[in-house]
């Protein structure tokens, strides 16, 4: 029996989407679906929910819970990762509240920025533990990483974990459909090309029947910018740098030095930037789960329709030797020629029975590559800190972050990092 292992299966809504998709795929029937989570209550909920779903859709997959992660991984062919180290309380709160004391404000704090740096530092040791266990019990498994910070964690699993890893993010497949919906444009028959880094990949081409749609996109976007809306940061970036970026405006507001500035508080209103957005979402999800739990966990007639998640399509393409294309995060083995080879990049990938093959992109537009490199700098120095255990590289990563460096002095950045290290306590390894 082949095996799909889901680490972090207590994320019930996400596990329903990804594993529900898998249970609907003919080539994956008969697979064992192995569930692991550090929260035994959420794990039991996921088991119950998925067994109800299995019965209602007549799947022959076997749902099995493991109290031990290594046992869950043993002999897996595919591994899906959806962990969140430190959770909302205490770590997400820490990531926001300590920088706020230095007047450094954030929106999401899960990718780069000071919040992204510390999320990496507490997650990388856990990822490397998973990699070590996989090397022992399923060294040839394909590891699909859904966890942020996507680029750094996917990089670490490949470079230092020695695991065949692809990072998957929702921002690629929804980029063009959401953009066209927002601008009231018809998406039928549209072809596009996206490449860059995770959360800052670029819509390089967008055409219908060979005709470039960018002029019309930019015309409508410029008109929409005359009033407040939910995507003002991305439209502003497109107006000045020429290309639309994949991830949301609330994310991109903190990836650049232009939008969240204590010296210019009016920019928050001008660009409709939702400060402290991620903590609000966390609280909303906690409350939502209280309401949704009965509907999902105890619903014996639970149903499911295929979602836009890539995982089941990737597995199906390998199992059935059919071709599937998707946007994936992989190491830059000459794929984007004006980004560092040490970086993890987001590029079009092909997958079939031979596995995943990333495609060659070449040079990005120089201004887009330059913006990517400002974020890659922080990613690579954060990895250096995690692998070397040297505190100085935490400071380097923070000092090179565009938003942090635009707001704080070197002394303030070092002091803030020290405060964050102390507040995280045992959630972090010891840095020297």
**Exposed e or buried b for every residue in 5-27, given b needs 16+ CB within 10 A?**
bbbbbbbbebbbbbbbbbbbbeb
CA atoms lying within 13 Å on the CB side of residue 217: 29
Domain residue ranges in the chain: 3-95+105-171
Q: What residues are paired with 159 via a beta bridge?
A: none
Q: What is the per-residue pLDDT for 218?
A: 98
Per-residue pLDDT tens digits for 81-92: 999 999 999 999
Rg (CA), the chain: 21
Query: What's the count of helices (H) and strands (E) in the chain, helices before strands?
Result: 17, 12
Q: What is the per-residue pLDDT for 430?
A: 98
Q: What is the mean pLDDT of the chain?
A: 97
**The dihedral formed by the CA atoms of 258, 263, 264 and 269, expressed in degrees to the nearest 10:** 100
Q: How confident is the model at residue 323 (pLDDT cuts 50, 70, 90)?
A: very high
The C-alpha atoms of residue 17 and residue 355 are separated, in whole angstroms, by 23
Q: How would you write 280-294 as a 3-class SS string?
A: HHHHHHHHHHHHHHH
Whether the predicted pLDDT of 358 surpasses 80 = yes
Q: How confident is the model at residue 408 (pLDDT cuts 50, 70, 90)?
A: very high
Portion of the chain with pLDDT greater than 70, in percent: 100
Measured between alpha carbons, how far is residue 44 from residues 71, 231, 276 in Å? Answer: 17, 39, 32
The C-alpha atoms of residue 25 and residue 34 are separated, in whole angstroms, by 17
Q: What is the per-residue pLDDT for 300?
A: 95
51: buried, middle or exposed (CB in 10 Å: 19+, 13-18, 0-12)?
Answer: middle
Residue 169 annotated as binding site:
yes
Whether the predicted pLDDT of 422 surpasses 90 = yes
Q: How confident is the model at residue 1 (pLDDT cuts 50, 70, 90)?
A: confident
Per-residue pLDDT tens digits for 73-116: 999 999 999 999 999 999 999 999 999 999 999 999 999 999 99
Q: Are 399 and 274 in contact, with CB atoms under 8 Å apart?
A: no
Closest C-alpha to 147, from 174, 172, 116: 116
From 52, 170, 229, 240, the catalytic residue: 170
Q: What is the per-residue pLDDT for 280?
A: 97
Mean pLDDT, residues 48-65 taken together: 97
Task: Let me know if 403 is a catalytic residue.
Answer: no
- The sign one gets for the Cα dihedral 393, 398, 402, 408 is negative
Residue 199 annotated as binding site:
yes
CATH code of the region 3-95+105-171: 3.40.50.720
Task: Please list, in sequence order, all residues whose beta carbon lies within 8 angstroms of the beta carbon of residue 418, skipping any fewer than 6 positions away.
Answer: none
366: buried, middle or exposed (CB in 10 Å: 19+, 13-18, 0-12)?
Answer: exposed
Per-residue pLDDT tens digits for 190-224: 999 999 999 999 999 999 999 999 999 999 999 99
Per-residue pLDDT tens digits for 122-133: 999 999 999 999
Closest C-alpha to 285, from 29, 88, 52: 88
Query: Tell me, what DSSP letter sits at residue 147?
Result: -
Portion of the chain with pLDDT greater than 90, in percent: 99
Per-residue pLDDT tens digits for 294-306: 999 999 999 999 9
For the chain, report the end-to-end CA distance as a whole number of angstroms.
46
Q: Are 213 and 189 in contact, with CB atoms under 8 Å apart?
A: no
The C-alpha atoms of residue 131 and residue 135 are separated, in whole angstroms, by 6
Q: How confident is the model at residue 371 (pLDDT cuts 50, 70, 90)?
A: very high
Per-residue pLDDT tens digits for 155-167: 999 999 999 999 9
pTM of model > 0.75: yes
Per-residue pLDDT tens digits for 233-281: 999 999 999 999 999 999 999 999 999 999 999 999 999 999 999 999 9
Q: Are 134 and 71 in contact, with CB atoms under 8 Å apart?
A: no
Q: What is the per-residue pLDDT for 18?
A: 98
């Amino acid at each position: 029996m082949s095996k799909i292992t889901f680490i972090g299966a207590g994320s019930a809504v996400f596990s329903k989407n990804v594993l529900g998709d898998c249970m609907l795929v003919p080539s994956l029937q008969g697979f064992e679906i192995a569930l692991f989570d550090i929260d035994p209550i959420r794990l039991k909920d996921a088991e119950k929910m998925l067994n109800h779903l299995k019965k209602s859709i007549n799947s022959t997959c076997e749902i099995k819970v493991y109290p031990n992660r290594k046992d869950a991984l043993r002999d897996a062919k595919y591994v899906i990762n959806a962990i969140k180290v430190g959770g909302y309380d205490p770590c997400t709160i820490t990531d926001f509240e300590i920088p706020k004391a230095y007047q450094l404000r954030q929106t999401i704090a899960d990718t780069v920025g000071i919040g992204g740096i510390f999320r990496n530092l507490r997650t990388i040791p856990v990822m490397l533990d998973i990699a070590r266990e996989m090397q022992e019990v399923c060294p040839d498994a394909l590891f699909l990483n859904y966890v942020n910070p996507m680029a750094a964690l996917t990089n670490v699993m490949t470079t230092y974990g020695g695991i065949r890893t692809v990072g998957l993010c929702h921002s690629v497949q929804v980029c063009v459909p959401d953009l066209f919906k927002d601008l009231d444009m018809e998406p039928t028959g549209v072809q596009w090309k996206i490449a860059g880094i995770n959360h800052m990949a670029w819509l390089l081409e967008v055409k219908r029947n060979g005709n470039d749609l960018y002029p019309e996109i930019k015309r409508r976007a410029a008109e929409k910018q005359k009033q407040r809306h939910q995507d003002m940061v991305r439209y502003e970036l497109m107006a000045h740098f020429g290309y639309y970026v994949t991830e949301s405006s609330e994310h991109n507001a903190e990836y650049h030095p232009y939008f969240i500035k204590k010296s210019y508080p009016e920019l928050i209103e001008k660009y409709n930037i939702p400060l402290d957005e991620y903590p609000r979402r966390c609280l909303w999800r906690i409350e939502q789960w209280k309401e949704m739990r009965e509907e999902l966990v105890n619903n014996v007639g639970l149903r499911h329709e295929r979602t836009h998640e890539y995982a089941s399509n990737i597995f199906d393409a390998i199992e059935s030797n059919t071709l599937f294309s998707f946007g994936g995060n992989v190491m830059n083995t000459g794929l984007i020629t004006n980004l560092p080879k040490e970086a993890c990049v987001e590029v079009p990938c092909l997958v079939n029975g031979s596995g995943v093959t990333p495609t060659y992109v070449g040079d990005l537009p120089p201004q887009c590559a330059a913006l990517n490199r400002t974020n890659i700098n922080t990613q690579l120095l954060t990895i250096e800190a995690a692998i070397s255990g040297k505190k100085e590289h935490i400071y380097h990563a923070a000092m090179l972050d565009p938003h942090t460096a635009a707001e704080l002095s070197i002394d303030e950045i070092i002091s803030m990092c020290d405060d964050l290290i102390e507040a995280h306590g045992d959630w972090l390894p010891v840095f020297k």
